[in-house]
Amino acid sequence: MLKQLHTEERGDVPGWVMICLMSAVLVAGLLAIAQPALQSLFNDAIDQVSQ
């Protein structure tokens, strides 16, 4: 009974690892694309505050 419960609750570890890796790659890709725009936005905001 206990062994059967343990095997049913094992989960899909390789699937979760793949989801985490794909999420990290997606975030890195979006950051690489959006970084110039975000940097410009940040610099403009800092310039307005410091004036």
Q: How far apart are CA 13 and CA 9, in angstroms?
A: 11
Residue 22 amino acid letter: M
In sign, the C-alpha dihedral spanning 39, 45, 48, 51 is negative
pLDDT over 70 (residue 4): no
The pLDDT tens digits of the residues spanning 5-47 come to 566 656 778 889 999 999 999 999 999 999 999 999 999 999 9
Instruction: Name the nearest CA neighbour of 17 among 6, 25, 9.
Output: 25
Q: How far apart are CA 36 and CA 34, in angstroms?
A: 6
Tell me what pLDDT residue 38 has. 95
Max Cα–Cα distance, the chain, nearest Å: 71
